[in-house]
Structure 1
Amino acid sequence: MTYKMLVSDLDETFLNDDGTIHEENVQTVKKAAAQGFKFVPNTGRSFESVQKMLKQLDLYDQVGQFVISFNGSAIVENKDNQIIATQDMPLTMAKQIFKAGLINEAVDVHIYTIDKLFIYNVSDSDRQYLATRGVAYVELKTPDLSFLNRQQPIMKVIFEHSDMQVRHQIYDAVIDSVGIDQVEATYSSDRYVEFNLKGVDKGTASLLLGEKLGIKRDEIMAIGDNNNDLKMIKAAGLGISVANGITAVKEMADIVTTRTNNEGAIAEVLNQFVLIGE
């Protein structure tokens, strides 16, 4: 099988734990892209936050190269950051999720619009984590969301807390409020519980991009490590877990790399399936 596209999670998959890129990953992505291969970051983050990374990979402002952002809520061509597809969340739903998920004063909440990230009650650990990733945001001083009337469309709402039990409680509170049939709920980075509009996920967006590019499902590889990567890995022709992936991801994947994210797992995949013999 000739693979034409790799959709890749970033944190704990493509990136090292400190937010840097393993040099082997940089070089293999450059080689593959030079041959017309599509390396597509498929991330929960904004496309705005990955521009520095794209520059390192020679993918910045490039025609025919793409980023999938916000867990599948937006597909963007790198050239001029042209948005080619969005699946946004109704404002009333975003407000309802925000209110329901703030179950205690230690929870912080992110609201992503197409071009901005707003955070209420940002925790010290979250602040440090975002700094290592170069993520810019606007800090909200109050829970008043009336300003969002001028900031749409809304891509997703997520909550941060270090305790998994608290994240489960947030999940339950939001689902009780809006209904399981209204949202896609996932966990990521051992700190976030994320909410997108129902039907929006990394896998659906990967197949949609493939369809727009004339790339078949069997020609798409997907690699990830965490809960919000499961549908992407299931959707792809070849689903891959990094060695440090959670158990559910390893069980879903067709193969598991021998390398972790800190050891250049993406380089391993590209050398095995794309840069064969080089």
Structure 2
Amino acid sequence: MIKLVVSDLDETLVGPDGKVSDVNVKAIKKAKAKGVKFVPNTGRGFQSVQPLLDTLGLREQENEYVISYNGGAIVENKDLKVLQTNALSFDQASQIFNVAKKYADYSTHVYTMDHVYVFNEIKEDMDYMLSRGVEPVMFTEDNLEKFRDDPILKVITMNSNVEKRVAMRDAVLKEIDFEVNATFSSDRYTEFNLSGVDKGNATLELAEKLGIKRDEIMALGDNSNDIAMLKKVGLPVVVSNANDAARNAAKFVTEGDYTSGVAEAINKFILGD
């Protein structure tokens, strides 16, 4: 029996307009009424997820959670209580940034606990973030000194060209002197977390806290940064717009995309509709 659903947001639950469809909201609320926990598991910071939690009836709820920053933080919704963080060190984040800043056709995001800071603003990137309720803060310094005393959960770069995303990953991996988890998301981002920090490990850490077994978890995703999550649970599901890498990690592919796929999976495996 499924007791926990962890779901990616962008392009899995959330569409291009930044909203969740009524059919998905209805299914999630029905699952919650049956005692099933629904946990957004996202690369975003937890602050930007709050309007979505409102829509789902999960905002400020005790014993309800969000996994953010690709597993970089686990947060209880009540009072935004941070239960766990897995941050890069200042030196590690600086090494990644020092590679990324050399490339003028990429924007670079630095995720602290409360903000997304963006170096080298690109309009396409800004428009995408704003559509997701993310309010980025611009910075122009060529170093991360201003963040020395802040936990840095991840560093990512944006370029809409897939070959350039791969090139950025390879450039960073070549230059740094530590292990990272490098993934891709939303057909635009190359993401860098500390090695071992991913959506899958964070899912199991939260499940252990809740007393939920691996085979009692359903995960929903669509992209490469969801693969670790899909591989760690009993029931890995992807929506129909998922890329090939994510599909290969799934046991079930929904007929619907982000507009209805989450509801389809919940209805099939939890509600029996």
Summarize deviations over 1:180-235 as a string: whole Å, max 9, x none: x6100000000000000000000000001000000000000101000000010000
**Match in the other structure for 2:156:** 158
Summarize deviations over 1:136-191 as a string: whole Å, max 9, x none: 121012323211123x1110000001111111111111101115x61000000000
Counterpart CA distance in 1 for 2:80 and 2:271 is 28
- Is contact 2:13–2:24 with CA below 8 Å preserved after alignment? yes
Cα offset for 1:102?
2.8
**Match in the other structure for 2:212:** 215
Counterpart CA distance in 1 for 2:246 and 2:182 is 16
> Aligned to 1:174, what secondary structure does the other structure show?
helix
> Aligned to 1:209, what secondary structure does the other structure show?
helix
**Match in the other structure for 2:176:** 178
Cα offset for 1:276?
2.0
Please report the TM-score for the alignment, with normalisation by the length of structure 2: 0.98
- Is contact 2:59–2:77 with CA below 8 Å preserved after alignment? yes
**Match in the other structure for 1:67:** 66
Residue 157 of structure 1 aligns with an amino acid whose one-letter code is: V
- Is contact 1:101–1:171 with CA below 8 Å preserved after alignment? no
**Match in the other structure for 1:14:** 13
Counterpart CA distance in 2 for 1:70 and 1:267 is 24
Summarize deviations over 1:54-106 as a string: whole Å, max 9, x none: 00110000011110000001001111111111111100010010011234211
**Match in the other structure for 2:106:** 107
Counterpart CA distance in 1 for 2:271 and 2:64 is 18
**Match in the other structure for 2:34:** 35
- Is contact 1:17–1:261 with CA below 8 Å preserved after alignment? no
Counterpart CA distance in 2 for 1:194 and 1:268 is 29
Quick check: 139-148 or 9-18, which moved more?
Answer: 139-148
Quick check: 49-58 or 31-40, which moved more?
Answer: 31-40
Counterpart CA distance in 1 for 2:189 and 2:181 is 14
Residue 248 of structure 1 aligns with an amino acid whose one-letter code is: A
**Match in the other structure for 2:266:** 270
Residue 267 of structure 2 aligns with an amino acid whose one-letter code is: N
Q: Which runs of 4+ in 1 moved over 4 A?
A: none
Matches within 5 A, 1:101-140: 101-140=100-139
> Aligned to 1:13, what secondary structure does the other structure show?
coil
> Aligned to 2:237, what secondary structure does the other structure show?
strand
Residue 256 (structure 1) aligned with residue 256 (structure 2): no
How many residue pairs match? The answer is 273
- Is contact 1:159–1:194 with CA below 8 Å preserved after alignment? yes
Structure 2 segments unaligned to the other structure (5+ residues): none
Sequence identity of aligned pairs in percent? Answer: 45
Counterpart CA distance in 2 for 1:26 and 1:81 is 22
How big is the alpha-carbon RMSD for the aligned residues of Structure 1 and Structure 2? 1.1
